[in-house]
Amino acid sequence: MSATRSPKVAERVAPKASDPQPQKKKRDDDDGPDFGTLLHAWIESHRASLLDSLRRLGKQPIGSFFTCMVMAVALSLPMGLSLLLNNVERLGGSWQRAAQISLYLQLEATPGEGQALLEQIKAMPGVADAEYIGRDQALEEFQQQSGLGEALKELPENPLPGVVLVTPKEVDKPTLEALRQRLSELPKVQQAQLDLVWVERLAAILKLGDRFVFGLTVLLVSALLLVIGNTIRLHIENRRTEIEVIKLVGGTDSYVRRPFLYMGALYGFGAGILSWGVLAFGLDWLNDAVVGLAGLYGSDFALAGVPVADGLSLLLGAVLLGYIGAWIAVARHLRELAPK
């Protein structure tokens, strides 16, 4: 009897071909969630942290606005000074015009020879532009500017030579001196004069301005990091109990850190937008007075606004500063956030 039942028992216990394989199913379970599931969970975690940061900032609109405004003022000062330096450089003329080389021709040089020399100079390497001023034009301009028109009329002949004003491509003292030497060797050139002292003074003034802006930028960036760090530290202290509970149930440091990083980036984004607006409004407000002053001198000079590239760089820099400041603040206090 037992011999006849044994095959049936064996048939009932043995798995059929259509049944799922237990070992294969176990291996699939050991592999864990696939990449798509992990990516979706990562995105949802970041989205939740961003929305939580926005919600917490929205609960304190006045405090958040003034924090962003303080940061915006600190960002506007160096950027505004840099834009004003660029406008002053544009008002005073380009570096090339400030470093013009004056070629005084011989008195016997004819206007035709002066024009031929002008074309030869324009074709030389290192020359951006050149302008020829004839003897008659030079005398007329000197009469108008000196106030000695009646006395100059008594002279038997024009004592002024023709002049070629050469504008170099590069403003560098050795390069300018080499170019002046080559120009002085040209035919019909009596003297080649280069005001290197003015070039050095202009370079020193602009270098001083650039260093001042750089130093101010470093100081204000440090102040911004302190402002962001202190603001994030206050948020950490207000949520200390919540963070300790999260770490108690297994929350990682990156999970705890994430909403504060978003908060710092949001502070930076708001500060960047406000700073861009402050600069645009300030330059537009100042431009009215500048245009009026320039008009009194017969000039059509006007201040240039904030370029889009500079505005985007300002916005990106503000977001990065907010992110870095929040990271520093959280990293400093993360060791204290362990559950007691």
* pLDDT tens-place string over residues 175-224: 888 888 888 888 888 888 887 777 677 778 878 888 888 888 899 888 88
Given a cut of 90, whether residue 273 has pLDDT beyond it is yes
pLDDT at residue number 299:
67
Instruction: Return the structure tokens found at 149.
Output: 């028109």
Tell me which amino acid residue 132 is: Y
pLDDT at residue number 26:
45
Given a cut of 50, whether residue 28 has pLDDT beyond it is no
- Express each pLDDT in 134-190 by its tens digit: 877 777 776 666 655 555 566 666 677 888 888 887 777 788 888 888 888 888 888
- Least confident range from 35-49, 113-127, 260-274: namely 35-49
- Rounded CA-CA distance 40/38 in Å is 5
- Rounded CA-CA distance 262/56 in Å is 11
Helix, strand or coil, per DSSP, at residue 103: strand
Given a cut of 80, whether residue 315 has pLDDT beyond it is yes
pLDDT at residue number 108:
82
Radius of gyration of the chain from its Cα atoms, rounded to whole angstroms: 37
pLDDT at residue number 266:
92
For residue 64, name the pLDDT band (cuts at 50, 70, 90). confident
Helix, strand or coil, per DSSP, at residue 167: strand
- Rounded CA-CA distance 107/104 in Å is 9
pLDDT at residue number 312:
92
Given a cut of 50, whether residue 16 has pLDDT beyond it is no
Q: What is the mean pLDDT of residues 93-102?
A: 64
Instruction: Return the structure tokens found at 18.
Output: 């259509």
Query: Helix crossing, 61-91 with 35-59: angle to 10°?
Result: 90
Decide which of 3.30.70.3040, 3.40.50.150, 3.30.70.260, 1.20.1440.230 is the CATH code for 100-194: 3.30.70.3040
Q: What is the pTM of this model?
A: 0.61
Report the share of the chain in percent with pLDDT over 90. Answer: 7
Domain boundaries in the chain? 46-93+202-337, 100-194
